[in-house]
Structure 1
Amino acid sequence: MRLGAKADGIAESTGGPVFVPYALPGETVTIERDGARARLLSVDTPSPERETPFCPYFSECGGCATQHMHDDFYRSWKQDTLAHTLRQARIEAPIEPLVDAHGEGRRRVTLHVRFPDRAMHVGYMAARSHHVIEIDHCPIAVPALQRQAPIVARAIGKQLGAARKPLDVQITATENGLDVDVRGHGPLKDKDRLSLIGLAADLDLARLSIHGDVVVERRPPAIPMGRATVVPPAGSFLQATRLGEESLAGLVTQACERAKRVADLFSGCGPFALRLAEKSDVHAVETDKGAVTALDKAARATPGLRRVTTEARDLFRRPLLVPELNAFDAVVIDPPRAGAEAQAKQLAASKVPLVVSVSCDPATFARDAAILIAGGYRLERVMAVDQFKYSPHVEVVGILRRDVMKKRR
């Protein structure tokens, strides 16, 4: 048996590979097979790499996949998986030791409220299922969310339950309290809006919104980013852990420390741009206009930063073109999971000396890096940052420098 990229044990059979979640290489297990997938019934001969999971919901809740692995084995598996992905793209580069960026835990969770029967069910989804596993705490979340998040989600579900619509409740721990955005309900009636304002006071929430529409903001849900403090738009993207953001930003700013002018593409609300601006002029580009506004406001309110300019622009449809890119000493890209193929092609044709590529998906990172390498860049460093601990996901940071001699040819 070997371990796959999704953390499943993979056993070979006469009918092809069989995927067994929570099984480890070298183990003898009893399974219930259903085609190419199987359910683990028992571990008859455990691997020495097996660990006792610390969460009572592990193997039921679909949030974690690796709590049964010893830490050294887990770290090696993540690095090996990244190395295999790069090799598939014909990229050879040394991968530095995995950075543990879990910190205090996840600062944002999304709980699901469902009404499959007469009762309300609140929790996380089971793996590869729409079935809700009810929880009363989440041990991988920051302390402010571990027990409070299910309480908040249940209260909101109870308040909006008359419609019996499936709700997704995103809860973020901020400096000034919990920031809650609810998806799935649709427009609110006036009476529902008033009742939610009262509920936000009862739960002492910083902000409560529905589909990004703010119902009430009792305190600004502030997130520190370097010297700056940002109030992100309701429901907007945020790195999963505070230490994860700081670790990624540290690698980015270190790589760009000699650059006078930096473009931060797919900038979000500024986790890199605001830190880069402590030493460099920064042009931040992001699709989400709300995130751009939040970044600009934070930059203007923070003394001591260099010049920060912002632009709302869809980089998938309108990537920065070569003449625009050539004005920068360094470019940082941190796209969504789909990657930045269109932007990578423009960078490959540019004269930008340094590209720092940050990605939450090793496969699209490798694809985009291969485009840059073909255009004359050299992948100098690859770092893996583990902010999604206990999951198969890993953040990747690549430092690519223009090979001047190759470009001249």
Structure 2
Amino acid sequence: MSPILRVAARGDGVAADGRHAAFAAPGDQLTDDGQVVPGPHHQDAPCRHFPECGGCQLQHLDDTAFSAFCIDRVASALDAQGLSAPIRPALLSPPRTRRRATLHAERGLIGFAAEGSHQIVDLRECHVLLPELFALVAPLRALFQKLGLKRRADVHLALADQGPDVLVTGWAPTGLAAAEALTAFCERHGIARFSVDDGLGAEARWEPQPVTIALGGVPVALPAGAFLQATQDGEDALVTAVREAVYGATTVADLFAGLGTFALSLPAKVYAAEGARDALFALKAAANMRGRPVFPEHRDLYRRPLTVTELDRFDAVVLDPPRAGARDQAAALAACSVGSIAYVSCNPSSFARDAKGMVQAGWRIDWIQPVGQFRWSTHVELAARFIR
């Protein structure tokens, strides 16, 4: 037998002899014929849908092993670029705290897609979604059946300040009976907003009061389907790390600012660049309403990244790009002279690629904070501080 030493990026256990085994945890033993003998960090999956459901890949890991996986994902990505850095213990979001998720619905089914497949796993329980969101799964199933949903649609769920926010894309019911059914559903289940988008843009069919999300203590208008950090715990962890990384700065550039998760949480004058107009306008209105010193600009940072001259006007920079990273913007950051940079990433691989250029230009990774807010998923986020 060969011991399982770690869990690879896609969730397979890696044995000392190099073999990979599905659903193996560090400390398990892999027999010569490929059987996994559970060890001290191998737990029974709490959900009946595991491992079929693609919402989770790592429910067989206990918290110690899951935390080690998050750290190893970051370390492996750095190592692939010839880098190393101090990595802090991972901060894990508890079960049943996901406040944002996309489910799929079709012909009486609603749930996550099966692992490696487009087949829908009809959810009967879920150990990652907030109870307030999971409580809508069965009623939504019944609603879609009543309205005759046959083609596949995506159901985007989020928990706003006013309650659950629902956006259905790829399908829109028509007719008076459908409108009455939607209204009755929303009234019965305390829905904050119900929107549909059949390809022409989101249309709110129910929104008794404007829907907001509190960021940095400021209520911000929440566009339908807008990006939110997956859990409140995860958002708090990332905001705390960013505030530490740029501590003392009086002028900060927040790049890929979104709705203002970081811009509204910093005790500084903040220039906020964002390419999505709806998010930018929501941030601008919220900052103006509360008198916050946040100055948003509509700017596509992939087409027009901030130049070195522009960056040098700030004491610090916050960078929170999509999964692809920010290769061109990172190149300008590498050449600028700001005091510190907080890099928030949802992809350790693209982060490490961008970090390599910055390190080669004389920056140092002061620390990295892994954040596991996608519970039992191979998806790992992080915040890092760069200094000269």
The equivalent of 2:334 in structure 1 is 348
Provide the rounded CA distance (Å) in 2 between the counterparts of 1:183 and 1:296: 27
- Map 1:6-405 → 2, pairs under 5 A: 6-10=10-14, 20-24=21-25, 26-28=28-30, 45-102=37-94, 105-115=97-107, 120-146=108-134, 148-162=135-149, 164-185=150-171, 189=174, 191=176, 192=178, 195-211=181-197, 212-276=202-266, 279-303=267-291, 305=292, 307-401=293-387, 403=388
In structure 2, the CA distance between the partners of 1:73 and 1:189, relative to structure 1 (3 Å rule), is closer
Provide the rounded CA distance (Å) in 1 between the counterparts of 2:95 and 2:110: 26
In structure 2, the CA distance between the partners of 1:351 and 1:156, relative to structure 1 (3 Å rule), is farther
Provide the rounded CA distance (Å) in 1 between the counterparts of 2:83 and 2:143: 48
In structure 2, the CA distance between the partners of 1:233 and 1:157, relative to structure 1 (3 Å rule), is same
1:132-183 CA distance string (max 9 Å, x none): 111123222222123x131243144225435x22011111112211100111
In structure 2, the CA distance between the partners of 1:22 and 1:351, relative to structure 1 (3 Å rule), is same
In structure 2, the CA distance between the partners of 1:11 and 1:214, relative to structure 1 (3 Å rule), is same
Provide the rounded CA distance (Å) in 1 between the counterparts of 2:10 and 2:92: 19
CA contact (8 A) 1:103 1:241 kept: no
TM-score normalised by length of structure 1: 0.86
* CA drift at 1:189: 4.0
SS of residue in 2 equivalent to 1:85:
helix
Provide the rounded CA distance (Å) in 2 between the counterparts of 1:140 and 1:229: 25
1:220-273 CA distance string (max 9 Å, x none): 332221221122110010000011111101111122221111010111101100
CA contact (8 A) 2:67 2:92 kept: no
* CA drift at 1:30: 10
Provide the rounded CA distance (Å) in 2 between the counterparts of 1:375 and 1:188: 55
Q: Which amino acid aligns with 1:149?
A: L
Provide the rounded CA distance (Å) in 2 between the counterparts of 1:19 and 1:220: 50
In structure 2, the CA distance between the partners of 1:373 and 1:44, relative to structure 1 (3 Å rule), is closer
Q: Which amino acid aligns with 1:142?
A: L
SS of residue in 1 equivalent to 2:359:
helix
CA contact (8 A) 1:157 1:167 kept: no
Question: What runs of 5+ residues in structure 2 fail to find an aligned partner?
Answer: none
Q: Which amino acid aligns with 1:215?
A: R
* CA drift at 1:28: 4.0
Moved more, 72-81 or 51-60: 72-81
TM-score normalised by length of structure 2: 0.90
SS of residue in 2 equivalent to 1:298:
helix
* CA drift at 1:383: 1.0
SS of residue in 2 equivalent to 1:285:
strand
* CA drift at 1:393: 1.5
CA contact (8 A) 1:30 1:44 kept: no
* CA drift at 1:29: 6.5
Q: Which amino acid aligns with 1:74?
A: F
1:10-36 CA distance string (max 9 Å, x none): 4699xxx875431335434799xxxxx
Provide the rounded CA distance (Å) in 1 between the counterparts of 2:211 and 2:125: 22
Of 4, 7, 11 in structure 1, the residue corresponding to residue 8 of structure 2 is 4
CA contact (8 A) 1:102 1:241 kept: no
Q: Which amino acid aligns with 2:56?
A: C
Q: How many residues align?
A: 378
Provide the rounded CA distance (Å) in 2 between the counterparts of 1:190 and 1:314: 39
SS of residue in 1 equivalent to 2:257:
coil
Q: Which amino acid aligns with 1:331?
A: V
Q: Which amino acid aligns with 1:335?
A: P
SS of residue in 2 equivalent to 1:138:
coil
CA contact (8 A) 1:230 1:295 kept: yes
In structure 2, the CA distance between the partners of 1:150 and 1:104, relative to structure 1 (3 Å rule), is closer
Question: What runs of 5+ residues in structure 1 fail to find an aligned partner?
Answer: 32-39, 404-409
Moved more, 307-316 or 219-228: 219-228
Q: Give the aligned CA root-mean-square deviation in angstroms.
A: 2.3
Provide the rounded CA distance (Å) in 2 between the counterparts of 1:80 and 1:123: 30
* CA drift at 1:322: 1.6
SS of residue in 2 equivalent to 1:223:
strand
Return the structure number with greater relative CO, CA threshold 8 A, min gap 6. Answer: 2
Identity of aligned residues (%): 37
SS of residue in 2 equivalent to 1:392:
coil
Moved more, 280-289 or 134-143: 134-143
